[in-house]
Structures are given as structure tokens and as C-alpha cells.
With several copies, the nearest count.
Chain A
Amino acid sequence: MSTSPVTAAPLDPVALRADFPILGEQVNGHRLVYLDSAATSQKPTAVLDAERAFLTHANSAVHRGAHTLAAEATDLFEDARAAVAGFVGAAPQQLVWTSGATMGLNLVAYAIGNASVGRGAPASARLALAPGDEIVTTAIEHHANLIPWQELAARTGAVLRHIPARDDGTLDLDAAATLISPRTRIVAFTHVSNVLGIVNPVAELIALAQQVGAVTVMDACQSAPHLPLDLPGLGVDLAVFSAHKMVGPYGVGGLYGRTDVLEALPPFLTGGSMITTVTLDSAEYLPPPQRFEAGTQPVGPAIGFAAAVRYLDAVGLENIHAHEGMLAARMAEGLRDIPGIRLLGDAAGVERVGLWSFDVDGVHAHDAGQLLDARGIAVRVGHHCAAPLHSRYGITASVRASAALYNTVDDVDEFLDAVRGIRPYFGVE
């Protein structure tokens, strides 16, 4: 795919906005211009309705009861799993429910930690880490795909290494080829950085990892809502995403796993509904995905999540990608023309999602964001849970505008107009 192609049939965001009641709200006397979807997306009525319909007509404990309501709830819950799995090209049993991407990444890190202290089945030994083994991540990760690996390294004696990024925000694949070595056991990387918006060369990273037999872990938080995904086709071993960034509910996410990898992974959370036999002193565990789903699952949110992926599918991921690419291009053009604005990760010729982070010379991000907010424009300010990446650019915070399928050209133009006013307002020439 090329940069911001408008190959697919254009999507009509104005029509879609009717599905998102919150977008009709007024903020500070202005219409809401919501450009913070990378933090959390808004949710269409179809998602809210699906969850409510479940809770008012079929709610009951799943996988535990034999009564009619429980059977109905179980069927709906498993249909939801199939829908979300299908959305990323996977089979239902390859999709583990999590409470979100952060939990999904911790699940993987802790399960590997458990394998490293001899827990799990004989097959789990292949995932065990020993002192001196290496975990490779990148310099542009969200804290959720960084700190769990720091902690795993600290617990196992493994060494954590980072693929560096270039000034333009692209990953240095040459350095990656050197860093990823036979000592490498895990390669963890984000598909799209939540600060830079660049689609990373994940196929290349997976190929490098496969050459040395390392397990690959992909953070798909910022790609799943915006690009068509085929995770089995990509060949990644494990990948995570969060419903709340995908026009879905809070409290649920997905962990995709290759069948053999999931089967080798020891349990993480333990408790009810993930066991076959339990005595007072030991337990045996179910196969995936149930092995990783201890306790009552987020049933309502899962039903809503299925409605969300159906909604995205109905709009069409190609259409969404094209529309957001168009908005991103318009944003970038506008921002580049404004004096004192520095775009983070302004690499040429790369595929992108619809987000840009930037620094305003002489004005702190918090102050810049405040000015936009006064005009009803919601953007995010701060380090966006990617502090090391900001340090690399010599700043502690930036402003981030992130678009979704429901944003319009007007949204972008109002945003640009407001950004033009930032330095003048604060008397920075």
C-alpha cells in the first residue's frame, strides 16, 4: 500500500456521525471536535444497544450453567469470540479474551515468566528464558509493551535490548538485523506507534525473528481499528488489541495467538473455568483459549466488542484506512505550514494511520492543548505513555491529534485554525 491512497470507495463521515451521539455534544460553547481517538474511541449506538440487549434479555453466567438462559448467553459469548477472531483473520480458538491490551501483554510476559520457573507443560520449556537470553523491543514502544519486558527481564535475568528509531520516526532495520541474534528469544514491537502513526515494517521484523527462532509479540492497538489485519497471514506469534480503541466497550481486549504458541504457553491468571481437575494441592488446565480465561469473563463488553468489529467491517477497513489517510495528509500539510511546529516522525513515503504528534516551539503542550480545548477541540497532551520516545526528541510532552472514521475535513480544518493561534496567544513570535 502507498501513502494515504484514496483507492477505496470514500466513506461518508457525516453520515456515520449520526451513530455516535456524543459527537453532537457542545464543549465550551463549541461543537465537539474529537481528535483523541488514539486514546479511546467513541462508541456507536449499535455497540451500546448490543450490550444492553444482551443484559436485558439473555444475561446469565456463561460456560457454567445448564439452564436455558446460560446456554443462550454462552452461545452469544462464543459467537462474539468468533466475530472478533474473524476480524483479525483468526480462528475462534486462537482468540483469548483479555481486559485490554496492557493485560494481554502482561499475560504473555508473565506466562513466559512462569515457563521460566518450570511451570506449565513439557512443551512450555521452549518458551523458558534463562539468564543471558535476550528480549528485543523497540525505542518507540508504549509503556505497555516496554515495562512488562523490563520486569520479565529483571525476574529471569534476561537482557532487554531496543531497536533504535531514526530521527524521522522509522525503525532502524539494519540495527534490528544486528540486534536480533541467536540469543534473542522474544521480539516485541508495535505495529503502529501511538505517537508517530507510522505503520512499522512488521513483516521484516517477524522474518528476522523467525530466522533465530524467537517468539514475536505485536502490539496491534493502533492498527486494529484502522487497517485490515490478517494476523495468521502476517505470521506473528502473538498480538494484542483493545476494544475501547476500536469503537468498542471498555474492559475487554483480544490476545491472538498461533495455535502451537498458545498451546505451549502456561497459564497466567488462575481460578475458575480454566481447569479440568482440581484438588486442594494442584490443578490441571484446559487447552487454549479457556486456559487463559480464569474467572468470569467480561461478557457484556465482549458482546459489545463483537458489535464494534461488525460495525467497522460494515464500514470497511479499506475505506476507513483511506479516509483516515486523507485526513492525516491534510493535517500534515497544514501543520507543516505553521511556524514553530515540529512534527514527530515526519518520515516520507511510509504508510500511516490518521494521527500526528507535534511540538510547538516556545509553548508547552499542556498550554497548547488548553487553547484547543477552549474551542471544543479534544487532543491529547503529554508523553502519551511513551516517555522514552519523547526523551529521544528532547521533549517531555507533545500534542497529539488522532482521527477516526467519524472525523471530517471540517474537524481537521478547525483544528489547524486553532493551532495557528497557539503561538500568537502565548506571545511567542
Chain B
Amino acid sequence: MNDLDALYRELILDHSKNPQHFGLAAEGEHSGTSYQKNPVCGDEITLRATVDGETITDVSWEGRGCSISQASASMLADLVVADGLDRPAARELVDGFREALRSRGTIELDEDTFGDAAALSGVSKFSARVKCAMLAWVALEDALAKAS
């Protein structure tokens, strides 16, 4: 598989065409919302996380952008909601994801931890696209910090 096909795996194109957890859930007492933007291309995302103490009970989002940024948001929401992650686990997840994406192709994301998002491993070879893939993850970090 060449680098381009590794970047645009089928799974990524699928998620970007059928984004999961798209459409913001209603704001709740224990939700935090984050708006993030990539200033170069104008891509943007709004992500809302709802918590119950340390447990994350819901993640939803809205936005527009390239297939990488959309797929990444969709995969992240899937992962957090499906696994019912708690905050520390989510923080660890974001850190691990960031590290792999900045690794210039030396760290692969493993499927056990990252689920569908593991398909984003190929992005790390494209330094200009790391920001696209990170957008939702940064938004989650920020939204969790705001949610009480």
C-alpha cells in the first residue's frame, strides 16, 4: 500500500461519509463544549462531552472539514462512547494519539486501544495533516476540561 492509500484507508473514507455521533447533543449540566479551528484551511469542529463524575457518558460533535478531520472526529466519538471511558483514560488516549501522530511514521496506533482510529496511523507521515487529525482530539481535551 503506498503512503497515499495508507492515509486514505477505506475506513477513513467510510467514517467521513457517514460520520458517527454527528449532531450536537443538548447542552447539559455536566457537559463541556469546545470549538476548534484550523486557521490555514478554515476547518472547524464543535465537540460536546457529557460526564458523570469521572465517567464520560456522551460525546457528540458537528463541523466541516477534510475527510481526515471528519473521520477522526467520528472515530474518536465512537471510541469514547462505545468504551465508556473515564477522564483519565481519555486523557491518556489523547496523549497516545498525539504522540503517534507526531512520530513521523515511527509509531503505529494499535487497534485494541484506538479502535477504528488506528486507521489514522498513516497521517503521521504527512506533517501538514496532523493538525486535521488532531482537531477533534484537542476539542475533546478542552471539552472535558470544561465539563464539571
Contacts and interface: CB of A to CB of B under 8 A. Distances in A.
B129 A382 contact: no
B41 A366 contact: yes
Interface stretch (B62-70, B84-92, B112-120, B139-147): B62-70
Contacts of B66: 364-367
B94 interface: no
Contacts of B132: 366
Given A364-B65, A366-B68, A374-B4, A396 B41 contact: yes
B41 A382 contact: yes
Contacts, number: 72
A6 interface: no
A367 B68 contact: yes
Nearest to B43: A396
A383 B68 CA distance: 18
B39 A276 contact: yes
| Chain A interface residue bracket vs B | 20 to 34
Interface string A37-76: 0000000000000000000000000011111001100110
A387 B4 CA distance: 28
B100 interface: no
A397 B44 CA distance: 12
A366 to B, nearest CB: 4
B98 interface: no
Contacts of A74: 127-128
Contact of A365 (B8, B41, B68, B128): B41
A427 B128 contact: no
B37 interface: yes
Contacts of B67: 364, 367, 426
B111 interface: no
Contact of A64 (B40, B42, B64, B65): B40
Nearest to A276: B39
Contacts of A427: 13, 17
Contacts of B13: 426-427
Contacts of B127: 71, 74-75
B42 A396 contact: yes
Given A364-B67, A366-B66, A370-B7, A381 B41 contact: yes
A79 B22 CA distance: 37
B3 interface: yes
Interface in B35-49: 37, 39-44
Interface string A256-277: 0000000000000000010111
Chain B interface helix/strand/loop/mixed? mixed
A276 B44 CA distance: 10
| Chain B interface residue bracket vs A | 20 to 34
Interface in A362-388: 364-367, 370-371, 374, 381-383, 387
A379 to B, nearest CB: 13
A63 to B, nearest CB: 7
B2 interface: yes
A275 B41 CA distance: 11
Nearest to A78: B127
Nearest to A274: B39
A104 to B, nearest CB: 23
Contacts of A64: 40
A286 interface: yes
B34 to A, nearest CB: 14
A368 to B, nearest CB: 9
B138 to A, nearest CB: 13
Interface in B1-29: 2-4, 7-8, 13, 17
19 contacts: A66-B126, A67-B128, A74-B127, A75-B127, A273-B39, A275-B39, A277-B37, A364-B66, A365-B41, A367-B66, A374-B2, A383-B41, A383-B42, A396-B42, A396-B43, A396-B64, A426-B8, A426-B13, A427-B17
Interface of A: 28, 63-67, 70-71, 74-75, 273, 275-277, 286, 364-367, 370-371, 374, 381-383, 387, 390, 396-397, 425-427
Given A396-B65, A427-B17, 15 more contacts: A28-B3, A364-B66, A364-B67, A365-B41, A365-B66, A366-B65, A366-B66, A367-B67, A370-B8, A382-B42, A383-B41, A387-B42, A396-B41, A396-B44, A426-B67
